[in-house]
Chains A and B, each alone.
Chain A
Amino acid sequence: MTRVFSRVLGLCGGSVLFLASTGYGDAPVDFQTEVFPIFEARCFKCHSDEKQKGDLRLDSPAWILRGSENGKVLTAGDADDSPLYYLTTFDPDDPDYMPSKGKGLTKAEQQLLKRWIDEGAHFGEDMGGGMMAMAGAVPSPSGVGSKYTDDLPLPPATYEMPETMAAVVEKLEAMGLAVDTVNHDANYVEVSYTYAVKQKAYSLSLLEPVAGAVVKLNFARSKVEDGQLAGLGKFKQVSHLDLRNTSVTDAALEAVGELEGLEYLNLFGTSVTDAGLAKLHRLKGLRRIYLHGTKATPQGIARLERAIPGLKVVR
């Protein structure tokens, strides 16, 4: 009763409460009836279920204990080490002063808060028991784990190419080719020709020393010519071949048909026809082929689809 009384006075005016809190100061401050209402009145606008400025909520003991984005806000037994208290005592013009919006805490409220923390910041039975349990049921940011924490390692990754490869790669890059690792693994590479400097760069023999590593060949928008693709079949690891928007014709597809490991073939915007597609029938592992903007007909595509079960044709 006395505690409730002092709280009511506290909200009315500082000087009165000052008397009250010293006068009735023998009983410890009760969190639920004395401190929590201060938070409700002064802090909830920004620090409760509606908003969590600075990642701080003050609407349950669990949240208060969790602290803010800057860490703990409460050190039990030491108000002067608890931002929860000392920020309210700053000069209202101070950028860190709390509350940053609305009316600040009265002197009496500050005193009450200080005393509660200095007394050990006990949440009491009602709050500490019932509300703590409730707070536990609320998924707290620290409670609902994202599955990926530092305990769960990522797949191994290598970004540095083996030395034997590095020398070859350097030579390729000097000719305007790009060599990129695939799938976070420098043992597999994609070679891109789009910005090749000279026709010489298209010679497949340049790739032979690293043939085992090349899994993707990207000629998109490059100046590659049919003849330069002869001998492609040697690159048994190649699963992706991109020829979109190039001048290649059916003649090139002879060599493409030898790439037994091919899964992805992009012929978008090329002039290939049904006759060219017929040369691909033995690529049983092919999963996707892109034929928009080519001269392929529905009949030619149907034949290809019959020859390669499971093939997705995009056109």
Chain B
Amino acid sequence: MKPFLTKLSDMDRRDFLAYSAKAFLGVGLMPSVVRTTAFAADLPESRPTAKNVIYLYMAGGMSHLDTFDLKQGTEFQGATRSIKTNVPGVRMSAYLPGLAQQMDKLAVINSMFSNQGAHEEGRYFMHSSYTKRGTIQHPGIGSWLVKFDGNRNPNLPGVVHIGSPNPGGSNGFLEQRYAPLVVGNPEAGLQNSSRRQNMSEEEFRDMVSLTNAFDAEFHGRYKQQKKVEAYSEMYDDALKLMRSRDLAAFEIDKEPKHLRDSYGANPFGQGCLLARRLVEHDVRFVEVTLGNWDTHTNNFERVEENAAVLDKAMSTLLADLELRGMLEETMVVLATEFGRTPKINENDGRDHSPTAFSCVLAGGGIRGGQVYGKTDTSGKNVIENRVNVPDFNATIAYALGLPTEKTVYSPTGRPFRVADKGRPVLDLFG
């Protein structure tokens, strides 16, 4: 039962509209027993199955033209070459040999569209589905997830961001308890999360209860005020975490050496490994950031370098999740703020181009081995099945079972939805 949903429905009773089964062609994979029951006919054929998300964010704007949407044989391609994947007819950049062998797990979306051409704004839009405003902060999808669907592991935070001091998503106007925990260096784990060595558990408890006693009157008086409550909740959560056995989830040095090497001996690779461990411990949303994609100069060498890091980490992550039987419940997302121009500039670089770019989804009920959407011959504009940023986020939300139609009100009374007006791309499932 999800009491929060009941609560939400009080605010917004807009029901889902009638549904035409023909509109959604998915490969039916409903459990055979269920299929024969009376109400099975009502079930949609696509099957979103995600519980958790590992969100790999390529900060700076990943060149779609040199990764997933190549334009070989045109003046726009430059030095990048394509290779075969393990799905017949689908090709990918030669910079991604590992992912090419995992293509059967991937849905590559080559028709992403954003209207935000600057880094901060693009990143904000990608994470929240809303354009940046001075007056309000919009929540990221991880915070929405925990808000709607709760925090599964009672001892760990629901949302963790790894590898960037500037996480694109935040709790926005949602309560502080939905805020991401930021981990700078995956190998260092969680800092200051243990009791001081010369302090016993008893002394620590005494100190905490003393603090509580001091604060009791204040809290009693201001209980109704969200910010006061949020502050004490933050303490409670920190205390829970310090005492939790689940802290072990942060210790990636417990993993075998060969696996650690396979993820890549760099912060992003180790971050992906940490992400897997956290999701294994039921952290709902883990974002890992890989920067340096802003290739205005020397695009080809830099993309090759960056892609090598991404390729090793993401292909190992997918294989690792599959081995553990976790790929069905874990959606792996590869996202960036925008693509880059077909035109190669005088510095052998590519500039920002938000009108067409590529993102990738895998797991969580996504049908692998497909390329969705098309760009024109240059890769500048989308010509088929455009996926707006809010649509992309709605697709992730849908995979997670979140109600994309529900309206939630900010403390100031303004209406917002998980992915604004985005609509999930149901063709990707099944």
Contacts and interface: CB of A to CB of B under 8 A. Distances in A.
Interface of A: 49-55, 69, 138-139, 141, 144-150, 152-157, 159-161, 166, 169-170, 173, 178-185, 187-188, 192, 194-195, 215, 221, 236-237, 239, 242, 244, 260-261, 263-264, 266, 268, 285, 288, 290, 292, 314-315
B269 interface: no
B18 A55 contact: no
A268 B391 contact: no
Interface string B361-393: 000000000000000100011111111100100
Contacts of B425: 146-148
Interface stretch (B37-45, B230-238, B306-314): B37-45
B1 A146 contact: no
16 contacts: A50-B341, A53-B118, A138-B381, A146-B387, A148-B394, A148-B425, A153-B16, A153-B19, A153-B23, A159-B9, A169-B1, A188-B34, A215-B34, A239-B31, A263-B31, A315-B323
A148 B398 CA distance: 13
B330 to A, nearest CB: 12
Interface of B: 1-2, 5-6, 9, 16-20, 23-24, 31-34, 37, 39, 42-44, 46-49, 51, 113, 115, 117-118, 131, 149-150, 152-154, 280-282, 322-325, 328, 341, 351-352, 354-355, 376, 380-388, 391, 394, 398, 401, 403-405, 421, 423-427
Max chain B C-beta neighbours (<10 A), residue from A49, A181, A183, A194: A183
Given A160-B6, A173-B1, A155 B421 contact: no
- The A interface is mostly helix, strand or loop, or mixed, namely loop
A200 to B, nearest CB: 18
Nearest to B8: A159
A215 B30 CA distance: 10
Contacts of A152: 23, 423
Contact of B383 (A52, A144, A194, A288): A144
B322 A144 contact: no
Contacts of B383: 139, 144
B385 A146 contact: yes
Contact of A290 (B39, B325, B351, B376): B325
Nearest to A153: B17
Given A150-B423, A153-B18, A285-B32, 8 more contacts: A55-B115, A141-B355, A155-B16, A180-B51, A215-B34, A237-B31, A244-B325, A285-B31
Nearest to B131: A69
Contacts of A187: 39
Nearest to A212: B37
A159 B12 CA distance: 13
Q: Identify the 6 closest CB pairs spanning chains A and B, nearest first.
A: A239-B31, A148-B423, A155-B44, A261-B33, A153-B17, A55-B115
B19 A194 contact: no
Contacts of A146: 113, 385-388, 391, 423, 425
Contacts of B153: 194-195
A184 B323 contact: no
A154 to B, nearest CB: 6
Contact of A184 (B44, B341, B380): B44
B381 A139 contact: yes
